[in-house]
Amino acid sequence: MFDRKTVVVTVAAMGLSFGTVCTSLRAQDRQTEDKNPAAAADKNKTADTDANTPAEADMQQKEQMQEKMKSDLKANFNDADFVKVASMANEDEIKAAQSALAKTTNDDVKTFAQHMIDDHTQAGTELKSLADSKGWTVSDTCDIKHMLAIKDLEKLIGPDFDKAYASSAVADHEDAVALFKVAADKASDSDLKAFASKMVPAFEHHLKMAQDLEGKTSAITMIK
């Protein structure tokens, strides 16, 4: 049998040993996280997997507002809202084309992307000049939905990127043609109506170019 003093000393020693082991393990964890920041990031991410950060919640709210503004234009057209949506869409095309120029090795894609940058930069300049004269606000950034789409697009490489870019250009210009046709019909400001009417055939031409590019890039991916 152990006497009481022996038990106390033994328990105390065990506690010290356990504390030493825990301290050592924590130190090892810190060293692992220092050497592998991704592991630390994953650990933190796991802790709040089910909770949106304030930034993510704000992004979701803005995206919902932007999508509602677009849908409302069809039912209840407003000149100032159209200018905001049109300027964001214009930036979408420029940013996507810039990404394409930076990533692609396909000459057809490069030619199309440069054409989009040139034409949409000019369109943006004209729209801003008109907006400034009317007291309307233009956007100088992509909308949230397209910002995220461009990030996903940039994860692709080679023919897969080219095809995805061409497909997105087709969808975006279908939307642009439809939107500007609504503005050409429903804008209350005569100058805005004239601008929208002028841009419809230009965007229809862009749509045809995008469709041709989609056909070419799809053929390449099928061969691959």
Q: What is the pLDDT of residue 148?
A: 82
pLDDT higher than 80, residue 4? no
For residue 122, tell me if it sits in a domain. Answer: yes
Closest-CA residue to 102 (of 178, 29, 153): 153
Q: Which one-letter DSSP state was computed for residue 154?
A: T
Q: What is the pLDDT of residue 84?
A: 93
The pLDDT-based confidence of 24 (bands split at 50, 70, 90) is very low
Distance between alpha carbon 39 and the CA centroid of its chain, in Å?
26
21 and 119 share one domain: no
10 and 117 share one domain: no
85 and 121 share one domain: yes
- Per-residue pLDDT, averaged over 62-79, amounts to 77
Q: Contact at 8 Å (CB) between 202 and 181? A: no
CATH number at residue 133: 1.20.1260.10
For residue 186, tell me if it sits in a domain. Answer: yes
Domains of the chain: total: 2
For residue 130, tell me if it sits in a domain. Answer: yes
Q: What is the pLDDT of residue 135?
A: 97
Which one has a higher pLDDT value, 149 or 217? 217
Q: Contact at 8 Å (CB) between 164 and 153? A: yes
Q: What is the pLDDT of residue 220?
A: 74
Closest-CA residue to 153 (of 140, 139, 169): 169
Tell me the residue range of the domain where 196 lies.
56-223
Computed over every residue of the chain, the mean pLDDT equals 80
pLDDT higher than 90, residue 47? no
How many angstroms separate the CA atoms of 59 and 110, rounded? Answer: 31
Q: What is the pLDDT of residue 68?
A: 74
How many angstroms separate the CA atoms of 48 and 93, rounded? Answer: 35
Question: pLDDT digits over 198-215, tens only?
Answer: 999 999 999 999 999 999
Q: What is the pLDDT of residue 43?
A: 47
Q: What is the pLDDT of residue 145?
A: 78
Question: pLDDT digits over 94-120, tens only?
Answer: 999 999 999 999 999 999 999 999 999
The pLDDT-based confidence of 36 (bands split at 50, 70, 90) is low
Percent helix, strand, coil in the chain (nearest 5)?
85, 0, 15
For residue 40, tell me if it sits in a domain. Answer: no
Which one has a higher pLDDT value, 72 or 118? 118
Question: pLDDT digits over 129-182, tens only?
Answer: 999 999 999 988 877 777 788 888 889 999 999 999 999 999 999 999 999 999
pLDDT higher than 70, residue 19? no
